[in-house]
Structures are given as C-alpha cells and as structure tokens.
A = this chain, B = another copy of it.
Amino acid sequence: MAPALIEPRVLRGFRDYLPEEMIPRQRMINTITAVFERHGFAPLGTPALEYSEVLLGKYGADAEKLLFRFTDNGGRDVSLRYDLTLSLARVAAQYGNLPVPFKRYQIAPVWRAERPGHGRFREFYQCDVDIVGAAGPLAEYECIQVDYDVMTALGIEKFSIHVSNRKLLEGLSSKLGVADGAQSRAIARTIDKLPSQGEEAVRTLLSSDAGLNSKQIGTVFEYLSLKGSNEAILAQLRQFFANTPEAHSGIESLETIIRCTGAAGIPEGTVELDLSIARGLDYYTGTVYETFLLDLPALGSVMSGGRYDGLVSIFSGQDVPAVGISVGIDRLFSGLKETGRIPQAATVSQVLVTVFSESTTPQSLQAATRLRSLGVAAEVAVEGGALRRQLKYANKQHIPFALIIGPDEAENGTMTLRDMESGEQRSFATIEAVAARVLDQRDDHRS
C-alpha cells in the first residue's frame, strides 16, 4: 500500500521565496551589504535559538507574547530570536576582546508569532547595522549617513529621514511631573502611535494608558506642535525645555546631527526633525530614526532605529552605549516593487547551452565551461530532447540567449547563438565572441 500523501504547505505567516522573488531580493540585499561594508561595518552571525532568559524582559509585555518559545530535547527554555539587537547586546557583553567601537551588520530572519496579515509575517528578515561602544552624536549621525546611502544606492530619490530623541521625552516627563519610568515609557509608546492612530486616539490613550490629566495632555500636544524648519524646531525646543536639563543632551545631539548632515552634503530637506517619532520598543534611550518613502507614506517606516544605551548592561552590568539602524527589507522590497523599481527576473542564466546528441554533447559541455570561465552564466540543457523543447524552456525562463551546437557546428567548430527575444541567429567562430555578445546584452538590460 502506498503511504498517504502529505499535503505540501507552509505554516501560516511563513512563506517561500521563489526565484522570481528571491533573485531581485538577493540583489537588493547585496546592494545594502555593499553600503554597510563601505561604512566599515563587519558581518556578525548569531544563533536563531537563544536561551529565553536572554530575550525576556527587554521588549515590553506586548512583544514578549509573540516569542516562539519552547522546551528543547535537553529541557532548556529556548526561544527563536525576536530581533537581532538582543543577540548583539549579548555578544557585546560575552566577548572581552571586541574592538571599541564594535561596528557590525547582520542580515538574518527573526520570528514573531504575530497574527498574520497584510505585510505582517511570522518569519521575516532584519537587516541591521549597529555601533556598540560609541556614546557621541557622530555615531548617531553615522546611522543617518548609512540610511541616506542605502536609499540612494537602491535608486530611491524621494525619501525623508525623520529624527527625534528619547531624551526629549524624558524632559517632557520631567516637565509633566512624571517620575515613574513605567509611566514615562507608556507616554513614549503612546506618542509613537500618533502617525498611525491620529490625535484623538492618542489623547484618549494618554489618559487611559499613560494616566495623564488634561493639563498634562495639553503640554504633550504643545510639545508635539513644535514644527517648522529643523533650525526653527531646535530653537523652539531650547525655549520649551529651558528649565528642563533632562532634555538638554538630546537637543545637543540633534543639533550636531543636523550640522553633520549639511557638512556631508545630504540634501536639504532629507533629514527632518519630527517630535512625533518615538519608536515603540522600550529599550531606546537617545536619538531615534524612521524613514519614509514620499511616494508611499502609508507603507510606514522602511528604515528605523536609534540609541539604546542600557541594553548591554543587562548582561554585563556595565554601561555600554549603542546605536543602530535597521532596514525593513520586506517592506522596502514591496514598496520598490509597487513603484516599479524591481526588475522582473526568474532566471540568473544568460545562455542556455543546448544539447543535440550524444556525439555533440562534449562540445556543448566544453562551450558551457568556457563561457563560465569568461564570466557568463551558462546553463546546460541537461534533459536534452528535441531542440524545439529546449528553446521553449529558454523562452519560458526568459533566458536571453541559446547556444546551438549541432552536428554541422560540431564538425566545423562554429556555434550558433540565438537571441531568444528577436529570434535572430548568428554564427560565431570563437567562444570569446559569443561571450562578448552575451555580456554586451546583459549590460544593455541592466542599465
């Protein structure tokens, strides 16, 4: 009796990336990686599974419910990582010989048992750069420069990097007479919901969740109403927080960042102070960033992060400053796709080397080997069969060329190259000439 068939399916909230999705995605990741490395960030790898205690108690209660947490075969309480930042903080505390500052990037999946929905998955990739051990505003500026360079390298012209600082919210709490850390964090989390939920909802939540009275809520909105050019906002902040020293270092950081932005030639208007930016996670302590595509504001932030000086000390007991920024590659990819910036690609092959018969197969294999050594992605039609069928495959796969070596060609040492789009066929005497023709075409397509 044949065993029952097993239904081929993926878990809800998980997905396969088929080549047509994976090829442009991988190219996007390669572009981002090149920017990270050009800034001197080095790659780091950490395990997918961590002791649960490494992850618990840092994200806030809402996030913790989303952990994929279980007991392993050895009875250990383990969880799939929820983000890459906690593992980095662990690494920073665990190894004594890391450079200071420690600049690393990591591009890897994370897992959250969210209710799956539009653009929300249970497995998705994070793509982070972080600088551990640098306290000054230049490190915060560096993340903005990386942000700008990533967007530019991806061919995005219209985007805006919104910046604020958690220290301002500490100042705001002080001004409100709120001394309790938990209440302070609730205010930050609530302000973070302003862009998505609007002013009325935030007013209600500031009362119900953050426990503020109407006078205090008035002060919060006075703060949130500080608008204008970056310079105008900085001037208003200095006035608003004149008697609130808790906010002063935050204002200074923002001043330096804005100055550096101009110095390094980031175009005016790209970096905007925006006091509604707070970031939801509890661990942020300083400058915070979000990045929006001007064509698709509803997409939400595609690159976000901030300073989180307290996180490493949970493991090491020592204060270690840290700041980082993360590309939301899934969201960004879907945004680029929507605006037509992702070229279609279902194949990486540039030439299908056809196979005619057993007697000509050696020539086909040699041609493929030599094309590859000349930098051409050459696929051999391993199933052979009728030439028509082989060409049909090249067509379906959008492979730009087919190389045909039949008995005539094999005898006189020539090759026929067929342009799959036009159908034009040309005879070539050398493999170098074939490669040159194919690589030419590739450049045309890519430019």
| Residues in chain A within 8 A of chain B (CB atoms) | 3, 5-12, 14-19, 21-23, 25-26, 37-51, 53-54, 57, 68, 70-74, 76, 78, 80, 87, 90-91, 93-95, 98-101, 103-104, 109, 111, 113, 123, 131, 133-136, 138-139, 141-142, 145, 149, 259-260, 263-265, 314-317, 346-349, 352, 355, 361-362, 365-366, 368-369, 372, 375-380, 382-384, 393, 396-397, 399
Q: Which residue of B lies closest to A347 (CB)?
A: B42
| Residues on B with beta carbons closer than 8 Å to the beta carbon of A42 | 19, 22-23, 346-348
| Residues on B with beta carbons closer than 8 Å to the beta carbon of A109 | 48
| Cβ distance A129 to chain B, nearest Cβ, rounded Å | 12
| Cβ distance A144 to chain B, nearest Cβ, rounded Å | 11
A19 close to B43 (CB less than 8 A): yes
A16 close to B138 (CB less than 8 A): no
Report Cα–Cα, A101/B347, bound state, in Å.
12
Q: Which of B73, B104, B263, B362 contacts A263 (CB 8 A)?
A: B362
- Kindly list 7 other residue pairs between chains A and B, CB separation below 8 angstroms, not including A11-B47, A263-B366: A7-B315, A10-B94, A38-B376, A40-B379, A101-B382, A134-B382, A139-B382
| Residues on B with beta carbons closer than 8 Å to the beta carbon of A382 | 101, 131, 134, 136, 138-139, 141-142
Q: Which of B17, B45, B71, B76 contacts A16 (CB 8 A)?
A: B45
B369 close to A41 (CB less than 8 A): no
Report Cα–Cα, A392/B65, bound state, in Å.
45
A38 close to B377 (CB less than 8 A): yes
Q: Which residue of B lies closest to A372 (CB)?
A: B38
A104 close to B19 (CB less than 8 A): yes
| Residues on B with beta carbons closer than 8 Å to the beta carbon of A379 | 39-40, 103
| Residues on B with beta carbons closer than 8 Å to the beta carbon of A265 | 366, 369
Query: What copy number does this chain have within its complex?
Result: 2
Report Cα–Cα, A369/B111, bound state, in Å.
35
Report Cα–Cα, A142/B109, bound state, in Å.
31
From known contacts A355-B138, A369-B265, infer whether A315 and B361 are also in contact, taking CB-CB under 8 Å: no
| Cβ distance A364 to chain B, nearest Cβ, rounded Å | 9
List 15 A–B pairs whose Cβ atoms lie within 8 Å, in order of A's numbering: A9-B90, A11-B47, A11-B49, A16-B44, A16-B95, A38-B378, A40-B348, A40-B379, A47-B123, A100-B393, A135-B383, A138-B382, A139-B382, A145-B369, A263-B365
| Residues on B with beta carbons closer than 8 Å to the beta carbon of A361 | 138, 260, 263
Report Cα–Cα, A57/B123, bound state, in Å.
25
Interface centre among A11, A113, A316 (most CB of B within 10 A): A11
| Cβ distance A32 to chain B, nearest Cβ, rounded Å | 14
Report Cα–Cα, A393/B356, bound state, in Å.
61
| Cβ distance A205 to chain B, nearest Cβ, rounded Å | 26
B3 close to A397 (CB less than 8 A): no
Report Cα–Cα, A396/B102, bound state, in Å.
12
From known contacts A11-B78, A145-B369, A372-B149, infer whether A138 and B68 are also in contact, taking CB-CB under 8 Å: no
| Residues on B with beta carbons closer than 8 Å to the beta carbon of A380 | 40, 138, 142
Q: Which of B50, B70, B101, B348 contacts A10 (CB 8 A)?
A: B50
Report Cα–Cα, A426/B101, bound state, in Å.
27
A99 close to B397 (CB less than 8 A): yes
Interface centre among A12, A41, A104, A317 (most CB of B within 10 A): A41
| Cβ distance A75 to chain B, nearest Cβ, rounded Å | 12
| Cβ distance A359 to chain B, nearest Cβ, rounded Å | 11
A18 close to B95 (CB less than 8 A): yes
